[in-house]
Structure 1
Amino acid sequence: MPERTESVSRNLLRHLRTALAEPGQGQERLDRITTLIAGQMGTDVCSVYLFRDPDTLELCATEGLNPGAVHKTRLRVGEGLVGRVAKTSQPLNTGNAPQERGFRYMPETGEEVFSSFLGVPIQRLGERLGVLVVQAREGRQYSDDEVYALEVVAMVLAEMTELGAFVGEGEALSALHQRPAIFRGTVAQEGVTEGHVWLHEPRVVVTTPIAEDPQVELRRMGEAIDQLRVSVDEMLNAAPGGDKEQLQVLEAYRMFANSRGWKRRMEEGIGAGLSAEAAVEKEQSAARTRMQMVPDPYLRERLHDLDDLSNRLLRILTGQGEDTGAERPADPILIARNIGPGELLDYGRSLRGIVLEEGSVGSHAAVVARALSIPLIINAGRITTEALNGDHIMLDGEQGIIHLRPEETVINAFKDKMAMQAKAQRRYASIRKEPAKTLCGTTIALHMNAGLMADLPSLQSSGAEGVGLFRTELQFLVRSKVPRRGELAALYSRVMEAAGDKRVVFRTLDIGSDKVLPYMKPQDEPNPAMGWRAIRVGLDKPGVMRMQLQALIRAANGRRLTVMFPFIAQLDEFRLARDHLLREIEREDRLGRPLPSKLEIGAMLETPSVAFAPRQFYELADFISIGGNDLKQFFFAADRENERVRRRYDTLNVSFLSLLEQIVERCRDTDTPLSFCGEDAGRPVEALCFAAIGLRALSMRPASIGPVKHMLRKANLAEARAVIDAARASGVQSVRPAVMDWLRHRD
């Protein structure tokens, strides 16, 4: 058993355990701890600063500084030496604090007489909770043993803060998981909903951070690591022999599980007085801190492996495995760091909403959430560390705001908003069977986007006239290997049967960029969205594309077949893709199989280059669908995954509308059917403007059809066009303000 910190840390933790066991309220308990630490470490000062909000630290307890400064002294992250420790998550040890970079003198505390300063972060698994500081009059550097001891105590304070040990008078002392909290993220699927939290991977709670018998803890640790190693070996033995990448990942797992350094560092934590669980968490927190500082993505991924192994080890030690005993609420809102499409499909439509800490608007999870019409907010930082199973939660999937454990005033306002939306939905349902016919007599065809069999009932309930886009990649994304031709043919056949006499546009496999197949070797590309993806993959590796085209032809079985190729950037790409399909038609004919009664071959226009393609492209295509999401990001050179830029560019920008008008004119000139597909098609104001400039077919998520139809049925396209033209002539950047003003005055 390691001995290097026994004299300081174990002594300190033994007294700390006694102090925590004594009765007392939050502030009293915290004051007792600061007095204890100062006495045991022989320092003049011990202070605890906790986060009042994500950017502000508050002095919550002190021994040695002016007691009147408690709950009055506040620092921003990065401000002063305490703020510097909070910002860097690294200890700061100096014998001459006033000369240290960033020193800030706070006269209300009376700290000017103290020269030495040692501050360590109070954090749990990368979540910053505060800073623990000791100071002394004499100018001295604290020893490595003292630094380590204070880190160990800070880690215990983090655990106790999480368990609510310091609930008291100060706002910053309120326990985690009890206060109302607001999170802001990125909308990946719109919708307003409420429910109760269901954690995809429930957090492991360490209830006993301080050990009573180190020998017992070392034995528990050894047994848990042995069990972990066995489970990793079993995973490795069960892995497919031909999957080299999966084998490499599992070999890395095994390497970490057998790492002597990893085990030694955790044993040192036990030697310092921690329980086995707390020792694992201390090393895991250190690994997460190192992870944030590593620029190399490969090394960061390896540290993620270590993080995952630590979670597995914690579940073994605590017995808090997948079956936590918690009962899933009737109205679950799923909270996760991230989630794969297969896991999300397992939950199905039972979810009221989804919140992810990570993810992107084009991620697999976002695609599935949109297919299931489940509100989804991504990039909601820290929510997995704050939410607990059963917490009341409200999602505003229009603004990207999450209310966790909301106050009564928020609940009432939110329910009013939901009631207004429910009223609007009833209004939309009343016109479900009516055409989207404008006041000037123009009818706009409204189609729905889909990607799963579960989407097809929306054809009837939404009033869609057909499926303008069926994403075929979902069937590839949720499998661990390439699906068989027969499986795909059966699925596509069921889709056609469910659609009945309504048209279904099947988009061929759109992979690459943010949609990487589990069994596809990731491409190291500096800009994947503009890299080897979609039709480029299909033409370079035609085997899978040919198999998919054969499946589509066989699924049609004499019915109408409509196929659309994605991400066409030039005429020759469409020619080659079209030739592939025609050759498969000839092959099926030679084999004596039924051919489609009608074959339509179209292209998605997602790159500005195709707007300027030769006339032959428009003549060759049976139809064209504008892929608005990609076209807009390439037109504005604004990555739609990048929150800093994606919202800076408006769909109703006059330049973008001019591009769309040019496409409308070229299709009109060649008599080529044209539609607009994407998020913007489902936004009523944008849909109205698209119709006003000549688009006569729109494809959107099913839930958007009602609002768009309602808008179109109240509009005169000639009047809308006049407003757009007048706004453009005035030299404005976007026609949106003028259109919105016209709509307000018209109503």
Structure 2
Amino acid sequence: MNAPTRGASSRVLLQKLRDVLASREGGQERLDIIVRLIAETMVTEVCSIYLRRDARTLELCATEGLNPDSVHLTRMRFGQGLVGRVAEQGQAVNTADATRTPGFRYMPETGEEIYSGFLGVPIQRLGESLGVLVVQNKAARKFSEDDLHGLEVVAMVIAEMAEAGAFTSTGDMGALAPPHSGPVFFRGIQGQEGVAEGVVHLHDPHIVIANPVSDDPDAEHARLHVALHKLRGEVDRMLDDDAVEDTGEAAEVLQTYAMFARDRGWITRIEGGIGEGLAAEVSVEKEQSSIRQRMSRMTDPYLRERFHDLDDLSNRLLRLLSGQRHDRHDIPENAVLVARNIGPAELLDYGPNLRGIVLEQGAVGSHAVIVARALAIPLVLQAGRITREALDGDTILIDGGEGAVHLRPEDSVRTAFREKMAMRAEAQEQYAALRDLPAQALCGSTVALTMNAGLMADLPSLAGSGAEGVGLYRTELQFLVRSKVPRRAEQAALYSRILDSGLGKRVVFRTLDIGSDKVLPYMRRTDEPNPALGWRAIRLGLDRRGVMRMQVQSLLRGANGRSLAVMFPMVAQFDEFVTARDLVLKEVEREQSMGHTIPEKLEIGAMLETPSLAFAPDAFFEMVDFLSIGGNDLKQFFFAADRENERVRRRYDTLNVSYLTFIAQIVDRCNRHKTPVSFCGEDAGKPVEALCFAAMGLRSLSMRPASIGPIKHLLRQCDLSEVRTIIDAACASGAQSVRPAVEGWLTERGIAF
């Protein structure tokens, strides 16, 4: 008799599981039937299912062969024992001598110590461990490869059944509570301040597969190949799009997509799952889970990126198979976008009507954060696992300032949150009343408050916020959201519209700040060990003179005779500024010789983002028309703490005595040379920090529009000379930070901050 083909036994078992799924049994009864069927089919004395109770805890939910009294009593953490090891690593453990295998944990209530043969496979969906499926034998049996493979297939179906709620129960000892049902709290990090209540709109919606098992492999193969044909057509159309250049990283990514969409190995593995009895969608997810497990173990960034491409391709294929297309323009009125991560172009595609954004990944300096701030949308980053917990339409509350997210909140939480929203709305009305008043402190000192911008969508905030102008316009955002370099005429037209929207107020254009984390879609990525300290900003601009010259020409033509202020980012030494300034002046001469109108007034400034520039020769301070302290980069270089790294970013306080002293030295040097200086960055938009900067002598601050009201409100209640006295006393006392002293002083006077 010929040996059965690989997957034959699993097909028989899957058909039995399909009957269980279609039955009217309760959740616990289904689990009990499943372990009995597996034990009978695989001829083992024991079969057990452990399911995840919380993010890091497994519970024995059903068993055939172990002590039945241990069900729902035996629990273990991920990583504990052989079962916990399978869940932690997402990999099978197959041993003929379990008790002597490293990691074995003795659980006396189960009676499993008499079983030597052990095979445990993860129950996982899309790379996330939901539990562990185990079979055991008294004899020293090492299970075959066919046994292992068959059990993995069955575990995949159990994962789909769990996701579909097949094991839920209302009893106290029920196997599981319904998935995606109870309230969940997430603690992320602040991306953009603000609070919002709305409903979840998933960037990549969940695909719940009602029938994970198929009894017609031929039909499933046909469905797969129809979907693959559509997928290849989509990728080919993207490659043929006129917006994608034939060369460059964008084209390379799409070419990789095209290659993967035709990869025989990837397709064969999916076909293999169908042959074993899985529905096409489940077979794709099975392969995708394997991909994600491999991704989690990779350290090479290039390989991780390529596997991410394959993961994204799997998502596209799943949507085609399920027919669940996602129209990003058809979103609820009160939508809160939930995604693993998102690029600036995709975020802009949703428009400014989102109530909030929650990302599972992301960094404080990412393009998505910049866009969210430009659109004044509350944003929380690094809310782990939220894409796996949330469903479209779930109620969600987010607090961007606290980095807090409440999913499906209880009524008491929702009531408290709404009270907080009402208080914020009342405060905003108070700030709006100050819109046309100066930010004048009680001592008579006035601080110019300007806004940061980077999109046309920012400019309507200019009038409403009370900003005196635009202290920083990030020109690179328009480059980042496009698939190829905008032409000179397009750039000039954009800069002209920006100045039009500026209503005659001063707008400071920062030249392209690209490189490091800001890689243009059409620019080849440079492999650098430390990109933040590498080839970026002015360094890249001076090496790629053509790009820089074209942008300067566009700025000059966009000004069309009006005043123009231009500043260069990341200047580290005097000669870089001299070279860049000479380039601008030569372009002015060239424009004039061609008969083009030149600006009536031209200011050429620099961003002070490196400590070295603070010690530049006096000639630099005499030559530069204005300086803007770029606080985000200056702070990370001053403290040698990567601002993208949460482990070190929060260790260092902006109001640290050393840092404030350094800021004061820069201000004093600028004052000696009568060089206008401002502070621009995330910290300029925080009231207590802004107050201390003003007390240290800064008379111009640039921030996101929403921060102008609160900071103006605080400044108008304070005497800057008193605040400076408090700061000086704290410094003299040997304190590490002046924050406690300043906040204590504000509290004593009943001044809210």
TM-score strictly above 0.5:
yes
Distance 1:473 1:248, change over 3 A: closer
CA distance in 1, matches of 2:646, 2:333: 33
Secondary structure of residue in 2 paired with 1:520: coil
In structure 2, the residue corresponding to 1:526 is in which secondary structure? coil
Q: 1:676 to 1:323 in 2, by over 3 A?
A: closer
Give yes or no for the alignment of 1:343 onto 2:346. Answer: yes
2:457 corresponding residue in structure 1: 454
- Among residues 329, 332, 337, which one is paired with 2:335 in the alignment? 332
Structure 1 CA distance for aligned equivalents of residues 542 and 88 of structure 2: 49
Matched residue, 1:538: 541
**Match runs of 1:133-212 below 5 Å:** 133-168=134-169, 169=171, 173-212=176-215
Name the CA distance, whole Å, in 1 between partners of 2:480 and 2:250: 16
Whether the aligned pair in 2 keeps the contact of 1:5 and 1:271 (CA below 8 Å) is: no
CA contact (8 A) 1:8 1:149 kept: yes
Q: Which string of whole-angstrom CA distances, capped at 9 and with x for unpartnered residues, describes residues 7-41 of structure 1?
A: 32111111111122211222222222222222222
Change (3 A) 1:238 1:705: closer
Greater mean deviation of Cα atoms: 35-44 or 365-374: 35-44
The answer to whether the 8 Å contact 2:250/2:521 transfers is: no
Q: 1:3, 1:271 within 8 Å by CA — same for their partners in 2?
A: no
Instruction: Indicate the residue corresponding to 2:575 in structure 1.
Output: 572
Aligned residue number for residue 122 of structure 2: 121
Deviation string 1:210-264 (CA, Å, 9 cap, x unpaired) is 0112222233333333443444444444475632544433333333233332222
Partners of 1:537 and 1:548 lie apart in 2 by 13
Equivalent position to 2:597, from 588, 594, 598: 594
Paired position in structure 1 for 2:133: 132
Deviation of 1:394 after TM superposition, in Å, equals 0.9
What does residue 258 of structure 1 align with?
262
Task: Report if aligned partners of 1:199, 1:336 keep a CA contact under 8 Å in 2.
Answer: yes
Secondary structure at the aligned position of 1:93 is classed as strand
Distance 1:408 1:715, change over 3 A: same
Deviation string, structure 1 residues 606-665 (Cα, Å, up to 9, x no partner): 001011111111111111110000000000010000111101110001110111011011
1:277 aligns with 2:281: yes
Query: CA 1:530/1:116 → structure 2, altered by over 3 Å: closer, same or farther?
Result: same
Partner SS, residue 352 of structure 2? helix
Of 301, 319, 322, the match for 2:323: 319
What's 1:369 paired with? 372
Distance 2:238 2:454 in 1: 32
Range moving further from structure 2, 694-703 or 175-184: 175-184
Q: Distance in 2 between matches of 1:313 and 1:3?
A: 31
What's the counterpart of residue 298 of structure 1?
302
Q: Distance in 1 between the 2:314 and 2:699 partners?
A: 56
Q: Where does 1:279-678 land on structure 2 (aligned, <5 Å)? A: 279-323=283-327, 328-678=331-681
SS across alignment from 2:569 = strand
Shift of residue 323 of structure 1? Answer: 4.8
CA distance, structure 2, for counterparts of residue 401 and residue 273 of structure 1: 43
Residue by residue over 1:497-556, the C-alpha shift from the partner in whole angstroms, topping out at 9 and shown as x without a partner, is: 221231111111111111111111111111111111111111111112111111211222
Give CA deviations for 1:307-366 in whole Å, capped at 9, x if unaligned: 222222222222222359x95211111112222222211222111111222222222211
> Normalising by structure 2, what TM-score?
0.96
The question of 1:700 aligning with 2:703 is answered: yes
- 1:568·1:603 contact (CA, 8 Å) conserved in 2? yes
- TM-score, structure 1 as length reference: 0.97
Q: 1:349 to 1:234 in 2, by over 3 A?
A: closer
Equivalent residue for 1:679? Answer: 682
Task: For 2:70, give the aligned amino acid.
Answer: A
Q: 1:238 to 1:670 in 2, by over 3 A?
A: closer
SS in 1 for 2:94: strand
Alpha carbons of structure 1 residues 591 and 219: separation in structure 2 relative to 1, 3 Å: closer
Partner of 2:717: 714
1:48 paired residue number = 49
Q: How much has 1:204 moved relative to structure 2? A: 2.6
Which letter maps to 1:439? L
State the alpha-carbon separation in 1 of the partners of residues 232 and 457 from structure 2: 40
Q: For residue 68 of structure 1, what is the amino acid of its counterpart?
A: D
Structure 1 gaps, min length 5: none
Structure-2 separation of matches of 1:588 and 1:258? 51
Distance in structure 2 (CA, Å) of the matches to 1:677 and 1:630: 10
Q: Determine what percentage of the aligned residue pairs are the same residue.
A: 65
Q: Separation in 2 of the partners of 1:129 and 1:724?
A: 53
Measured against aligned partners, the alpha-carbon deviations of 1:260-308 in whole angstroms (never above 9, x if no partner) come to: 3222222221222111221111111112112222332222222222222
- Aligned-partner Cα distance in 2 for 1:462–1:171: 55
SS at the partner of 1:567?
coil
Q: Is the 8 A contact 2:115 2:137 kept in 1?
A: yes
Partner of residue 20, structure 2: 19
- Mean CA deviation greater in 566-575 or 428-437: 428-437
User: Deviations for 1:559-597, whole angstroms, at most 9, x for unmatched residues?
Assistant: 211111111100011111111111111112212222222
Tell me, what secondary structure is at the counterpart of 1:335? strand
- Residue deviations 1:76-97 (CA, integer Å, cap 9, x gap): 1111111100110000111111
Q: CA deviation at 1:484?
A: 1.4
Equivalent position amino acid for 1:204 in 2: I
Distance 1:578 1:315, change over 3 A: same
Question: Residues 661-695 of structure 1, C-alpha deviation per residue, up to 9 Å, x if partnerless?
Answer: 11011001101111100110110000111111111
Q: Deviations over 1:109-153 (max 9, x none)?
A: 222222221111111111221111122222211111111111111
For residues 407 and 658 of structure 1, the distance between their equivalents in structure 2, rounded to whole angstroms, comes to 47
Q: Secondary structure of 1:308's match?
A: helix
Distance change >3 Å, CA 677–CA 246, structure 1 → 2: closer
Letter in 2 for 1:314: L
Q: 2:568 is paired with a residue of what secondary structure?
A: strand
| Residues 120/740 of structure 1: CA separation in 2 closer, same or farther (3 Å cut) | same
How has the CA–CA distance of structure 1 residues 234 and 493 changed in structure 2, closer, same or farther, with 3 Å as cutoff? closer
Letter in 2 for 1:689: C
Label 1:495 to 1:257 Cα distance change in 2 as closer, same or farther (>3 A).
closer
Deviates more, 1:185-194 or 1:365-374: 185-194
Aligned residue identity for 1:486:
A
SS of corresponding position for 1:265: helix
- Between 302-311 and 672-681, report the one with greater CA deviation: 302-311
Q: Do the aligned partners of 1:331 and 1:351 also contact (CA within 8 Å) in 2?
A: yes
Structure 1 runs (4+) greater than 6 angstroms displaced: none
User: What SS class does the counterpart of residue 514 from structure 2 fall into?
Assistant: coil
**Whole-angstrom distance in 1 between the partners of 2:304 and 2:577:** 40
The DSSP-based 3-state class of the residue aligned with 1:61 is: strand
Q: Which amino acid aligns with 1:435?
A: P
**The residue matched to 1:544 in structure 2 has which SS?**
helix
* Aligned residue type for 2:714: M
* Conserved? CA contact 2:339–2:358, under 8 Å: yes
Letter in 1 for 2:726: V
Structure 2 unaligned residues grouped into runs of 5+: none
How far apart, CA to CA, are the structure 2 residues paired with 1:422 and 1:314?
43
**2:522, 2:75 → 1: CA distance?**
51
